[in-house]
Protein backbone atom coordinates (compact mmCIF):
# COMPACT_ATOMS: atom_id res chain seq x y z
CA UNK A 1 0.00 0.00 0.00
CA UNK A 2 1.37 3.39 -0.98
CA UNK A 3 1.63 5.84 1.89
CA UNK A 4 -0.78 8.74 1.77
CA UNK A 5 2.20 10.97 2.40
CA UNK A 6 3.93 9.71 -0.76
CA UNK A 7 2.71 12.73 -2.69
CA UNK A 8 4.36 15.08 -0.19
CA UNK A 9 7.68 13.29 -0.67
CA UNK A 10 7.35 13.57 -4.44
CA UNK A 11 6.60 17.25 -4.20
CA UNK A 12 9.39 17.89 -1.74
CA UNK A 13 11.95 16.30 -4.02
CA UNK A 14 10.64 18.24 -7.00
CA UNK A 15 10.87 21.45 -4.97
CA UNK A 16 14.48 20.65 -3.99
CA UNK A 17 15.57 20.06 -7.58
CA UNK A 18 13.70 23.12 -8.82
CA UNK A 19 15.19 25.27 -6.10
CA UNK A 20 18.73 24.00 -6.83
CA UNK A 21 18.22 24.57 -10.57
CA UNK A 22 16.99 28.13 -10.01
CA UNK A 23 19.89 28.87 -7.65
CA UNK A 24 22.44 27.46 -10.11
CA UNK A 25 20.94 29.49 -12.93
CA UNK A 26 21.19 32.58 -10.75
CA UNK A 27 24.85 31.76 -10.08
CA UNK A 28 25.49 31.54 -13.82
CA UNK A 29 23.76 34.85 -14.49
CA UNK A 30 25.66 36.58 -11.69
CA UNK A 31 29.00 35.39 -13.12
CA UNK A 32 28.31 36.10 -16.77
CA UNK A 33 31.29 38.49 -16.90
CA UNK A 34 33.54 36.67 -14.45
CA UNK A 35 36.80 35.69 -16.14
CA UNK A 36 37.48 31.97 -15.95
CA UNK A 37 33.98 31.08 -14.73
CA UNK A 38 32.51 27.86 -16.11
CA UNK A 39 28.78 27.51 -16.64
CA UNK A 40 27.27 25.12 -14.09
CA UNK A 41 24.36 22.74 -14.42
CA UNK A 42 22.28 20.55 -12.11
CA UNK A 43 22.40 16.87 -13.01
CA UNK A 44 19.33 14.98 -11.78
CA UNK A 45 17.85 11.52 -12.19
CA UNK A 46 14.85 9.50 -11.06
CA UNK A 47 15.15 8.35 -7.48
CA UNK A 48 14.88 4.59 -6.78
CA UNK A 49 11.36 3.26 -7.32
CA UNK A 50 9.20 1.45 -4.73
CA UNK A 51 8.01 -2.09 -5.23
CA UNK A 52 4.29 -2.32 -4.63
CA UNK A 53 1.76 -5.11 -4.79
CA UNK A 54 -0.54 -4.65 -7.74
CA UNK A 55 -2.96 -7.48 -7.03
CA UNK A 56 -1.67 -9.36 -10.07
CA UNK A 57 -0.54 -12.58 -8.39
CA UNK A 58 2.99 -12.70 -7.03
CA UNK A 59 4.20 -9.97 -9.29
CA UNK A 60 4.83 -6.49 -8.01
CA UNK A 61 4.84 -3.15 -9.74
CA UNK A 62 7.12 -0.17 -9.30
CA UNK A 63 6.04 3.26 -8.23
CA UNK A 64 8.25 6.27 -8.89
CA UNK A 65 9.53 8.23 -5.94
CA UNK A 66 10.39 11.42 -7.76
CA UNK A 67 13.71 13.00 -8.63
CA UNK A 68 17.07 13.36 -6.92
CA UNK A 69 20.08 15.63 -7.47
CA UNK A 70 23.13 13.67 -8.58
CA UNK A 71 25.59 16.53 -8.89
CA UNK A 72 26.13 20.16 -9.80
CA UNK A 73 28.96 20.20 -12.31
CA UNK A 74 30.86 22.58 -14.55
CA UNK A 75 30.31 22.40 -18.29
CA UNK A 76 33.82 21.91 -19.71
CA UNK A 77 35.39 20.40 -22.82
CA UNK A 78 38.80 18.96 -21.96
CA UNK A 79 39.82 18.77 -25.61
CA UNK A 80 39.20 22.49 -26.12
CA UNK A 81 40.92 23.25 -22.79
CA UNK A 82 44.06 21.50 -24.02
CA UNK A 83 43.88 23.28 -27.37
CA UNK A 84 43.68 26.65 -25.60
CA UNK A 85 46.71 25.72 -23.49
CA UNK A 86 48.67 24.61 -26.57
CA UNK A 87 47.91 27.83 -28.46
CA UNK A 88 48.72 29.92 -25.38
CA UNK A 89 52.08 28.20 -25.03
CA UNK A 90 53.03 28.78 -28.68
CA UNK A 91 51.78 32.36 -28.61
CA UNK A 92 53.74 33.10 -25.43
CA UNK A 93 56.90 31.82 -27.09
CA UNK A 94 56.47 33.92 -30.23
CA UNK A 95 55.47 37.04 -28.31
CA UNK A 96 58.72 36.90 -26.33
CA UNK A 97 60.69 36.53 -29.58
CA UNK A 98 58.78 39.32 -31.32
CA UNK A 99 59.38 41.72 -28.43
CA UNK A 100 63.11 41.01 -28.54
CA UNK A 101 63.33 41.37 -32.33
CA UNK A 102 61.49 44.70 -32.08
CA UNK A 103 64.10 45.84 -29.55
CA UNK A 104 66.89 44.67 -31.84
CA UNK A 105 65.45 46.65 -34.74
CA UNK A 106 65.37 49.74 -32.52
CA UNK A 107 68.99 49.17 -31.51
CA UNK A 108 70.22 48.59 -35.07
CA UNK A 109 68.19 51.62 -36.19
CA UNK A 110 68.36 51.01 -39.94
CA UNK A 111 67.72 52.60 -42.31
CA UNK A 112 68.45 55.97 -40.74
CA UNK A 113 70.76 58.96 -40.97
CA UNK A 114 72.25 58.19 -37.57
CA UNK A 115 72.86 54.44 -37.83
CA UNK A 116 76.00 52.41 -38.35
CA UNK A 117 75.60 52.25 -42.12
CA UNK A 118 75.50 56.05 -42.30
CA UNK A 119 78.59 56.23 -40.05
CA UNK A 120 80.40 53.81 -42.38
CA UNK A 121 79.50 55.90 -45.40
CA UNK A 122 80.59 59.05 -43.61
CA UNK A 123 84.04 57.65 -42.88
CA UNK A 124 84.38 56.22 -46.37
CA UNK A 125 83.46 59.60 -47.91
CA UNK A 126 85.95 61.35 -45.63
CA UNK A 127 88.70 59.09 -46.95
CA UNK A 128 87.71 59.93 -50.50
CA UNK A 129 87.74 63.66 -49.74
CA UNK A 130 91.20 63.26 -48.25
CA UNK A 131 92.37 61.41 -51.35
CA UNK A 132 91.22 64.38 -53.44
CA UNK A 133 92.92 66.91 -51.12
CA UNK A 134 95.79 65.07 -49.40
CA UNK A 135 97.33 68.25 -48.06
CA UNK A 136 94.10 69.51 -46.47
CA UNK A 137 94.36 69.58 -42.70
CA UNK A 138 90.59 69.92 -42.37
CA UNK A 139 90.08 66.77 -44.50
CA UNK A 140 92.49 64.89 -42.23
CA UNK A 141 90.59 66.10 -39.16
CA UNK A 142 87.28 65.04 -40.67
CA UNK A 143 88.60 61.48 -41.14
CA UNK A 144 89.36 61.22 -37.42
CA UNK A 145 86.09 62.88 -36.50
CA UNK A 146 84.13 60.44 -38.66
CA UNK A 147 86.15 57.54 -37.22
CA UNK A 148 85.17 58.61 -33.71
CA UNK A 149 81.55 58.96 -34.80
CA UNK A 150 81.63 55.43 -36.19
CA UNK A 151 83.03 54.09 -32.91
CA UNK A 152 80.42 55.97 -30.88
CA UNK A 153 77.56 54.47 -32.89
CA UNK A 154 79.01 50.95 -32.81
CA UNK A 155 79.77 51.05 -29.08
CA UNK A 156 76.33 52.47 -28.31
CA UNK A 157 74.74 49.58 -30.19
CA UNK A 158 76.98 47.10 -28.38
CA UNK A 159 76.11 48.59 -25.00
CA UNK A 160 72.40 48.42 -25.82
CA UNK A 161 72.81 44.77 -26.80
CA UNK A 162 74.51 44.06 -23.47
CA UNK A 163 71.60 45.71 -21.68
CA UNK A 164 69.09 43.70 -23.73
CA UNK A 165 70.83 40.43 -22.85
CA UNK A 166 70.84 41.36 -19.16
CA UNK A 167 67.14 42.19 -19.32
CA UNK A 168 66.35 38.87 -21.02
CA UNK A 169 68.28 36.98 -18.35
CA UNK A 170 66.41 38.87 -15.63
CA UNK A 171 63.07 38.23 -17.35
CA UNK A 172 63.86 34.53 -17.51
CA UNK A 173 64.60 34.47 -13.77
CA UNK A 174 61.37 36.34 -13.00
CA UNK A 175 59.36 34.05 -15.29
CA UNK A 176 60.72 30.99 -13.51
CA UNK A 177 59.66 32.49 -10.17
CA UNK A 178 56.21 33.26 -11.62
CA UNK A 179 55.85 29.70 -12.92
CA UNK A 180 56.87 28.22 -9.56
CA UNK A 181 54.27 30.44 -7.90
CA UNK A 182 51.56 29.02 -10.17
CA UNK A 183 52.70 25.47 -9.41
CA UNK A 184 52.43 26.08 -5.67
CA UNK A 185 48.95 27.59 -6.00
CA UNK A 186 47.79 24.65 -8.12
CA UNK A 187 49.09 22.22 -5.49
CA UNK A 188 47.23 24.14 -2.75
CA UNK A 189 44.01 24.01 -4.78
CA UNK A 190 44.53 20.29 -5.31
CA UNK A 191 44.61 19.91 -1.55
CA UNK A 192 41.43 21.95 -1.08
CA UNK A 193 39.56 20.14 -3.87
CA UNK A 194 40.41 16.71 -2.48
CA UNK A 195 39.35 17.86 0.99
CA UNK A 196 36.11 19.51 -0.10
CA UNK A 197 35.13 16.96 -2.73
CA UNK A 198 35.72 16.56 -6.43
CA UNK A 199 32.72 18.79 -7.28
CA UNK A 200 34.30 21.95 -5.86
CA UNK A 201 33.41 23.91 -8.96
CA UNK A 202 34.69 27.35 -7.96
CA UNK A 203 38.01 25.93 -6.82
CA UNK A 204 38.33 24.01 -10.07
CA UNK A 205 37.71 27.19 -12.04
CA UNK A 206 40.51 28.93 -10.15
CA UNK A 207 42.82 26.00 -10.76
CA UNK A 208 42.07 25.89 -14.49
CA UNK A 209 42.74 29.63 -14.72
CA UNK A 210 46.14 29.09 -13.07
CA UNK A 211 46.95 26.22 -15.44
CA UNK A 212 46.20 28.47 -18.41
CA UNK A 213 48.41 31.22 -17.00
CA UNK A 214 51.12 28.59 -16.50
CA UNK A 215 50.72 27.35 -20.09
CA UNK A 216 51.70 30.80 -21.38
CA UNK A 217 55.04 30.38 -19.62
CA UNK A 218 55.75 26.75 -20.54
CA UNK A 219 54.21 23.75 -22.26
CA UNK A 220 52.50 21.47 -19.75
CA UNK A 221 50.49 18.27 -19.78
CA UNK A 222 47.51 17.98 -17.42
CA UNK A 223 46.01 14.79 -16.03
CA UNK A 224 43.02 14.76 -13.68
CA UNK A 225 43.03 12.03 -11.04
CA UNK A 226 40.02 10.17 -9.69
CA UNK A 227 40.05 12.28 -6.51
CA UNK A 228 39.80 15.48 -8.58
CA UNK A 229 43.43 16.59 -8.20
CA UNK A 230 45.63 17.57 -11.15
CA UNK A 231 49.00 16.12 -12.04
CA UNK A 232 51.07 18.62 -14.03
CA UNK A 233 54.16 17.66 -16.05
CA UNK A 234 56.31 19.14 -18.79
CA UNK A 235 54.95 18.18 -22.19
CA UNK A 236 58.41 17.66 -23.69
CA UNK A 237 59.75 15.00 -21.31
CA UNK A 238 56.98 14.25 -18.77
CA UNK A 239 59.03 15.82 -15.96
CA UNK A 240 56.69 15.96 -12.95
CA UNK A 241 55.89 19.45 -11.71
CA UNK A 242 52.82 18.94 -9.52
CA UNK A 243 51.67 15.62 -8.09
CA UNK A 244 48.79 16.09 -5.70
CA UNK A 245 50.12 18.46 -3.06
CA UNK A 246 53.78 17.95 -3.99
CA UNK A 247 55.60 20.51 -6.15
CA UNK A 248 58.87 20.09 -8.06
CA UNK A 249 60.07 23.63 -8.73
CA UNK A 250 62.03 24.54 -11.84
CA UNK A 251 65.30 26.45 -11.64
CA UNK A 252 66.47 29.55 -13.45
CA UNK A 253 69.68 27.74 -14.40
CA UNK A 254 67.73 24.91 -16.04
CA UNK A 255 65.52 27.38 -17.92
CA UNK A 256 68.61 29.26 -19.18
CA UNK A 257 70.60 26.18 -20.21
CA UNK A 258 67.76 24.16 -21.78
CA UNK A 259 64.95 26.60 -22.62
CA UNK A 260 63.59 24.48 -25.48
CA UNK A 261 62.34 21.72 -23.21
CA UNK A 262 60.08 24.19 -21.42
CA UNK A 263 58.37 25.82 -24.38
CA UNK A 264 56.19 28.90 -23.91
CA UNK A 265 57.61 32.23 -22.79
CA UNK A 266 60.62 30.54 -21.17
CA UNK A 267 61.64 29.04 -24.52
CA UNK A 268 60.98 32.37 -26.22
CA UNK A 269 63.22 34.20 -23.77
CA UNK A 270 65.97 31.59 -24.19
CA UNK A 271 65.79 31.84 -27.98
CA UNK A 272 65.73 35.63 -27.71
CA UNK A 273 68.92 35.60 -25.64
CA UNK A 274 70.59 33.44 -28.29
CA UNK A 275 69.33 35.77 -31.02
CA UNK A 276 70.65 38.87 -29.24
CA UNK A 277 74.01 37.16 -28.73
CA UNK A 278 74.13 36.19 -32.43
CA UNK A 279 73.51 39.73 -33.62
CA UNK A 280 76.02 41.14 -31.16
CA UNK A 281 78.63 38.70 -32.47
CA UNK A 282 77.80 39.60 -36.06
CA UNK A 283 78.01 43.30 -35.24
CA UNK A 284 81.41 42.80 -33.63
CA UNK A 285 82.63 40.97 -36.73
CA UNK A 286 81.38 43.73 -39.04
CA UNK A 287 83.04 46.45 -36.96
CA UNK A 288 86.30 44.50 -36.67
CA UNK A 289 86.48 43.93 -40.42
CA UNK A 290 85.63 47.57 -41.13
CA UNK A 291 88.24 49.06 -38.80
CA UNK A 292 90.90 46.60 -39.95
CA UNK A 293 90.25 47.76 -43.50
CA UNK A 294 90.71 51.32 -42.26
CA UNK A 295 93.82 50.31 -40.37
CA UNK A 296 94.00 49.03 -36.79
CA UNK A 297 96.96 48.42 -34.52
CA UNK A 298 97.39 47.63 -30.89
CA UNK A 299 99.19 50.86 -30.06
CA UNK A 300 98.86 54.54 -30.79
CA UNK A 301 101.27 56.98 -32.34
CA UNK A 302 101.75 59.01 -35.49
CA UNK A 303 103.09 56.12 -37.51
CA UNK A 304 100.39 53.73 -36.40
CA UNK A 305 96.93 52.93 -37.85
CA UNK A 306 93.81 55.09 -37.43
CA UNK A 307 92.13 52.68 -34.97
CA UNK A 308 93.53 51.18 -31.80
CA UNK A 309 92.35 47.69 -30.92
CA UNK A 310 93.44 44.11 -30.33
CA UNK A 311 92.98 42.25 -33.61
CA UNK A 312 93.59 38.83 -32.02
CA UNK A 313 91.13 39.34 -29.17
CA UNK A 314 88.93 42.07 -30.56
CA UNK A 315 86.55 43.79 -28.15
CA UNK A 316 84.27 46.46 -29.54
CA UNK A 317 84.04 48.21 -26.17
CA UNK A 318 87.84 48.79 -26.17
CA UNK A 319 88.08 50.22 -29.71
CA UNK A 320 89.57 53.74 -29.90
CA UNK A 321 90.65 56.34 -32.44
CA UNK A 322 94.36 57.01 -32.77
CA UNK A 323 94.35 60.81 -32.92
CA UNK A 324 98.11 60.81 -33.43
CA UNK A 325 97.92 58.81 -36.65
CA UNK A 326 98.67 60.30 -40.06
CA UNK A 327 95.57 59.64 -42.20
CA UNK A 328 97.61 60.04 -45.36
CA UNK A 329 99.26 56.70 -44.60
CA UNK A 330 95.86 54.96 -44.62
CA UNK A 331 94.28 56.23 -47.85
CA UNK A 332 94.35 52.79 -49.48
CA UNK A 333 91.76 51.68 -46.93
CA UNK A 334 88.82 52.84 -49.04
CA UNK A 335 88.96 49.78 -51.23
CA UNK A 336 87.32 46.39 -51.48
CA UNK A 337 87.44 45.33 -47.81
CA UNK A 338 85.37 48.31 -46.67
CA UNK A 339 82.73 47.47 -49.26
CA UNK A 340 82.68 43.88 -47.97
CA UNK A 341 82.15 45.00 -44.37
CA UNK A 342 79.32 47.29 -45.44
CA UNK A 343 77.75 44.48 -47.44
CA UNK A 344 77.93 42.17 -44.41
CA UNK A 345 76.17 44.79 -42.30
CA UNK A 346 73.42 45.19 -44.89
CA UNK A 347 72.93 41.43 -44.81
CA UNK A 348 72.67 41.62 -41.01
CA UNK A 349 70.00 44.30 -41.25
CA UNK A 350 68.07 42.38 -43.90
CA UNK A 351 68.17 39.17 -41.86
CA UNK A 352 66.93 41.00 -38.78
CA UNK A 353 64.07 42.53 -40.75
CA UNK A 354 63.07 39.13 -42.13
CA UNK A 355 63.15 37.50 -38.70
CA UNK A 356 61.14 40.32 -37.18
CA UNK A 357 58.50 40.12 -39.92
CA UNK A 358 58.27 36.36 -39.50
CA UNK A 359 57.79 36.74 -35.75
CA UNK A 360 55.11 39.39 -36.26
CA UNK A 361 53.23 37.12 -38.66
CA UNK A 362 53.52 34.17 -36.29
CA UNK A 363 52.15 36.19 -33.38
CA UNK A 364 49.20 37.33 -35.50
CA UNK A 365 48.48 33.79 -36.72
CA UNK A 366 48.68 32.18 -33.30
CA UNK A 367 46.64 34.98 -31.74
CA UNK A 368 43.91 34.34 -34.29
CA UNK A 369 44.07 30.58 -33.67
CA UNK A 370 43.85 31.10 -29.91
CA UNK A 371 40.92 33.48 -30.25
CA UNK A 372 39.05 31.08 -32.54
CA UNK A 373 39.59 28.20 -30.10
CA UNK A 374 38.58 30.37 -27.16
CA UNK A 375 35.38 31.33 -28.98
CA UNK A 376 34.59 27.65 -29.54
CA UNK A 377 35.21 26.92 -25.89
CA UNK A 378 33.07 29.82 -24.76
CA UNK A 379 30.19 28.44 -26.83
CA UNK A 380 30.40 25.37 -24.59
CA UNK A 381 31.48 26.63 -21.19
CA UNK A 382 30.50 30.31 -21.29
CA UNK A 383 27.28 31.76 -19.91
CA UNK A 384 24.60 32.80 -22.40
CA UNK A 385 22.11 35.17 -20.79
CA UNK A 386 19.38 34.23 -23.30
CA UNK A 387 19.80 30.56 -22.50
CA UNK A 388 19.91 31.15 -18.75
CA UNK A 389 16.77 33.28 -18.81
CA UNK A 390 14.94 30.55 -20.74
CA UNK A 391 16.16 28.01 -18.17
CA UNK A 392 15.03 30.25 -15.34
CA UNK A 393 11.48 30.32 -16.69
CA UNK A 394 11.54 26.55 -17.23
CA UNK A 395 12.77 25.82 -13.70
CA UNK A 396 10.28 28.30 -12.24
CA UNK A 397 7.41 26.43 -13.88
CA UNK A 398 8.84 23.15 -12.61
CA UNK A 399 9.10 24.56 -9.09
CA UNK A 400 5.54 25.93 -9.23
CA UNK A 401 4.25 22.56 -10.43
CA UNK A 402 5.98 20.76 -7.56
CA UNK A 403 4.55 23.30 -5.12
CA UNK A 404 1.08 22.70 -6.59
CA UNK A 405 1.55 18.95 -6.04
CA UNK A 406 2.40 19.56 -2.39
CA UNK A 407 -0.62 21.84 -2.01
CA UNK A 408 -2.95 19.28 -3.62
CA UNK A 409 -1.59 16.48 -1.44
CA UNK A 410 -2.10 18.67 1.61
CA UNK A 411 -5.74 19.17 0.66
CA UNK A 412 -6.19 15.42 0.25
CA UNK A 413 -4.69 14.78 3.68
CA UNK A 414 -6.91 17.46 5.18
CA UNK A 415 -9.94 15.70 3.76
CA UNK A 416 -8.82 12.34 5.09
CA UNK A 417 -7.72 13.50 8.53
CA UNK A 418 -10.11 16.28 9.38
CA UNK A 419 -13.27 15.57 7.40
CA UNK A 420 -13.61 11.83 6.99
CA UNK A 421 -13.11 11.37 10.71
CA UNK A 422 -16.05 13.60 11.48
User: Binning pLDDT at 50, 70 and 90, where does residue 335 land?
Assistant: very low
Q: pLDDT tens, 236-292?
A: 999 999 999 999 999 989 888 888 899 999 999 999 999 999 999 999 999 999 998
Question: Does residue 60 have a pLDDT over 80?
Answer: no
Q: pLDDT tens, 68-95?
A: 999 999 999 999 999 999 999 999 999 9
Question: Does residue 334 have a pLDDT over 60?
Answer: no
User: Does residue 303 contact residue 315 with C-beta atoms inside 8 Å?
Assistant: no
User: Does residue 91 contact residue 122 with C-beta atoms inside 8 Å?
Assistant: no
* Residues in contact with 84: Cβ distance below 8 Å, sequence separation at least 6, in sequence order: 212, 215, 370, 373, 374, 377
Average pLDDT over residues 342-366: 95
More confident residue, 397 or 295: 397
Instruction: Lowest mean pLDDT of 57-61, 316-320, 338-342, name the range.
Output: 57-61
User: Binning pLDDT at 50, 70 and 90, where does residue 175 land?
Assistant: very high
Average pLDDT over residues 311-333: 82
Query: What is the Cα–Cα distance from 283 to 291, expressed in whole angstroms?
Result: 12
Q: pLDDT tens, 255-270?
A: 888 888 999 999 999 9
Q: pLDDT tens, 178-193?
A: 999 999 999 999 999 9
Please provide the average confidence, as pLDDT, over all residues in the chain.
90
Which 3 state secondary structure label does DSSP give 325?
coil
Amino acid sequence: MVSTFHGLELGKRGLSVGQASIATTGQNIANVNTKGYSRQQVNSSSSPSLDIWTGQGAHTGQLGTGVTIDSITRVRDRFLDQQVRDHSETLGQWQAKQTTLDRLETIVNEPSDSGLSSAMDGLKNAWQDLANEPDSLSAQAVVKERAQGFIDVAQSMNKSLDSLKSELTQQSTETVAEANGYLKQIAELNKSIVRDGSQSNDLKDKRDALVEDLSKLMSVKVEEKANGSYSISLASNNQALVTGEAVSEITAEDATNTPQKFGGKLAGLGESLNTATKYQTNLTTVVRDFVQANGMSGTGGKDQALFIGDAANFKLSELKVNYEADPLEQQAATGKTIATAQSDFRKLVSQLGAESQSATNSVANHSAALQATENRRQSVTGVSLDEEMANLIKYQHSYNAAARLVSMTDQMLDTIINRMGS
